[in-house]
Structure 1
Amino acid sequence: MSIEQTFSIIKPNAMKKNAIGDIVSMFEANGLKIAAAKITVLTTAKAEEFYAEHKARPFFGELVSFMTSGPVMLMCLQGEGAVLKNREIMGATDPKKANPGTVRAKFGDNVGENAVHGSDSPESAARELALFFEKHEICNV
């Protein structure tokens, strides 16, 4: 495997639980490094742009509302096979189906409020990173 970068969001429900340190520690313990990070509150426009692929789905409005309901932590994670590794650390989308010890099993509340987002492919990672970070904001760690 090669060194990759992937995009991750710690979602509002995990932020409210003060879980940043625990979640970042899980990434770092599994060989991922933070190459960029920022805490922000997403605008409706930015959330709609990010989740544009879900626009026709019935949960779109609720998803956008949730993602703009409070602060999020946006990150670029870097490491060997970062996309797949991040997805393994996060666990299944549904926290009830996520393996014990994964981020979503520990901090997710339900399918919609599942604590974290992670890119599903290197192509998605590139698109998502470009949406939230300028090139100069991402360090090669």
Structure 2
Amino acid sequence: MKPYNYRFDKVLTYREQEKTETEVEFKGSVEAFETVANKLYDLLKKKEDILVAQQIKMTIGFSVNEIHHYSRFIGSLEKRIAEMQQQVIQARSKMNWYENKLLEKTLEVRKFEKMKEKDREHHRAEMEQLEAIQLDELSTLKFRSRENR
């Protein structure tokens, strides 16, 4: 009986390697997204804290200079927030792209695994059929040898 050998084994190995690489890239894009999103959150939190501090000082009263300082600082924070929001959008887009690519690679690997499974089953059935034929031949030969005695 010949051992099972899948004809697309190298292709399956290559596809699995591609899938693994894509998983690594996807995880990297998720980490990059989380980093950028955390930076955006920190900026938004900082702006909120500054606005609260400004409201408190307004009730107490503070100088025109301090008002200008707060408004310039909030303006620069808003610019940084807008830039960070664009980076978050880009990071999310990249993460979604890698997620779709990973899904595609996973489906390809599954197709090849399914083909391998069917091919292995076909090989097993073929080997069983050959074994049955050999057993029939052996029993026929044994029967003939007994007849000839």
Give TM-score, length-normalised by structure 2.
0.19
Return the structure number with greater relative CO, CA threshold 8 A, min gap 6: 2
Higher fraction of helix: 2
Over alpha carbons, which structure has the higher Rg? 2
Give TM-score, length-normalised by structure 1.
0.20
